A and B are shown apart, each in its own frame.
Chain A
Amino acid sequence: MRAVNHTIRNRAKLTGWLFIAGAVLMICLFYFYPMIQALLLSFKTGAGANLHFDGLANYKRLLSDKTFFTAVKNTFLFLIVQVPVMIVFAMMISVLLNDSKLRFKGFFRTAIFLPCVTSLVAYSVVFKYLFGNDGLINLALLNMHILSEPIQWISDPFWAKVTIIIAITWRWTGYNMIFFLSSLQNIDSSIYEAARIDGASGPRQFFSITVPLLKPIILFTSITSTIGTLQLFDEIMNITKGGPGNATLSISQYIYNLSFKYTPDFGYAATVSYSIVVMIIILAFLQIKLAGDDK
């Protein structure tokens, strides 16, 4: 009897494995294989197809590469400025939109979520024209007499950074808002009722009930946004191409330049890619630690 049970269990296990075999194979083929190849590539140097193993040469070069550090600095600046602003925005908007007395809720939610549906390239190109030296934004500000001469949104190192931050905030706030909204709807309204009876004000309710209960979502959105910002590419590529003079160069744009703009150096480009992996691991780890999630 026992033996029969054993074979049945074994067969069930085998069936299970068969069911997922296809997926496992695909994941290995399209995720793990390229990842390992890229890691191997990061130890090779040489231009184009003339690659050969060269130990840690690329990693040494990385540590003395000024352009790489400029790219890291820019990317972290975007991260530090933009991610908190965006999460606060997303949280505030979602609380407003969750108000039961609000009318036309569907319209507002759609309107704020809509930017996420647009193509990255399309919206970047539109932003580039809006913020051009003769673009609509300058035109409007000049006509309203807020400015006396046009701001060089794209050609000035400082304003170029601001333009990128505005663009990514516009694109991603609605996306994060959706997570907050769905989470808010799971908070039992009786908690707020009780708080009201106890005399807690609106802000007090927000900081003492909403924020703590949203903590897992705040953690989730900040980790995904961090990863997204570290991989920032489309906006930079289409709005500023990393300029003026590397002022908005992101790590991903630098990888692109190394692979395609300059004489191709795929080995070093892979090394820079792996630096992003390391940074994401460290940051996600820190965020989870800081958020104090024991689970």
Chain B
Amino acid sequence: MKKKATALLLAGFTLLTACSSNANTNNQANTGAEGNAAGGNQKITVWAWDKNFNIAAMNLAKDAYVAKNPDAQIEVVEYAQDDIIQKLNTGLNSGSASGLPNIVLIEDYRAQSFLQTYPDAFQELGDAIKTSDFAEYKLGPTSFNGKQYGVPFDSGVVGLYVRTDYLQEAGYTVDDLQDIDWQQYIEIGKAVKAKTGKAMLTQDPNDLGLIRMMIQSAGSWYLKEDGKTPDLKDNAVLKEAFESYKELMNADIVKVNSDWSSFLAGFNSGDVASVPTGNWITPSVKASADQSGKWAVVPFPKLKNAANSVHASNLGGSSWYVLNNDGKEAAVKFLGATLGSDVALYQKLVTDVGVVGTYKPAAEGEAYGTADEFFGGQKIIADFAKWTAEIPNVNYGLHTYAIEDILKVEMQNFLNGTELDKALSDAQSQAESQIQ
């Protein structure tokens, strides 16, 4: 009896494995045939996150393209970023790209982990875009092995958004905040707190975005230039960033938030005097229409001692990629004709959505010089475009978020009194054992 059951089980297994391998080949054959039959007139599917920013931008690109190619079918689908990453990973790992879109938005920090771990999954762009037309710091994350895979998009350029009315109350003008370093920022923050009772900024202790911005402003990263070797212990820039962060936290000028919505609430409700972050926050800052005229954007503070530190950095920019599946030619053509070269489209992106792209020829367009009444007539797009050109190029490598999770713990330890050298050398040894 027992023998029979085992035999049955085994038979079942062989049947299953046979089935599954057959299914695979069938699938491939099918999709191939469909691709041929459909020819050029194929529907292009696009996945992205953030309705007010990326989706809105992609819809503008779609409209521009459809106006010239009435036959083109483009579907833009919104997913949360986490969902896109999950779907891409499971899809690409199973070897079946049939459920995946033609074009997908990927954050620059994660780009290399997709390009390198799924080498054949993405389509090279070839001549569809001219790489020298894009900001240089975007080319590292979007290319692999000397080939360009991504159309650089959102610059992620950072600025320091400040409330001019609070600053005035504390005795400062916008001019006092031009080109400051983090020490000066903390001093100003203390004055603001003393005079107005408002916190200088809001921070989520579980998100080290500020550290990332600080170290990139000095051309440094969590990894050495090879993108693989952890560079935490004895990294002078990282050390200074950690020290500045601790000073900031201990100066009692930080309102702690626990997630994105309480981060937004921090400045929308008028509780904080400044927001150091990426330019993609502009639509959210402008969401409180009653604060119009009270905001300005000044250059990002730099690290005081790091020699290379400049007043420009990047936070979480992203780029468009074409997947290596049916319809890739049409998708490449679409991207090349729109976000890859259309100066007029980039003007519309600025005026309608507030997107600062990284396509250099677009910066000469008229829209980039428009004054924004919300920011007291400041030409913020022109400023952002200028800072974009100064962002130091770093190799994000494969492990930004893995290392950051290690650093979060060590940051807590450091804030609670562990010596900095020990915290960072612990982080280094953990990173080395984790990254293989």
Contacts and interface: CB of A to CB of B under 8 A. Distances in A.
Say what secondary structure dominates the interface of chain A: loop
B178 interface: no
B362 to A, nearest CB: 32
Nearest to A257: B405
A33 to B, nearest CB: 6
Interface residues of A, number: 44
A270 B105 CA distance: 28
B93 A155 contact: no
Contacts of B297: none
B401 A262 contact: yes
Interface residues of B, number: 43
A67 B408 CA distance: 12
A49 B93 contact: yes
A65 B429 CA distance: 11
A143 interface: no
A241 to B, nearest CB: 7
B335 to A, nearest CB: 24
Interface string A35-64: 000000000010111100000010001001
Contact of A28 (B9, B86, B398, B411): B9
A49 B118 contact: yes
A47 B113 contact: yes
B291 interface: no
A244 B89 contact: no
Interface stretch (A93-101, A115-123, A126-134, A280-288): A126-134
B256 A28 contact: no
Contacts of A245: 205-206, 408-409, 411-412
B113 A133 contact: no
B85 interface: yes
Nearest to A247: B412
A264 B402 CA distance: 10
Contacts of B117: 47-50, 263-264
A58 B217 CA distance: 37
A210 B257 CA distance: 47
Interface of B: 8-9, 12-13, 15-16, 82, 85-86, 89, 92-93, 95, 113-114, 116-119, 121, 204-206, 256-259, 262, 265, 398-399, 401-402, 405-406, 408-409, 411-412, 430, 433-434, 436
11 contacts: A47-B113, A47-B117, A50-B119, A64-B433, A128-B259, A132-B258, A134-B262, A245-B409, A262-B401, A263-B402, A264-B89
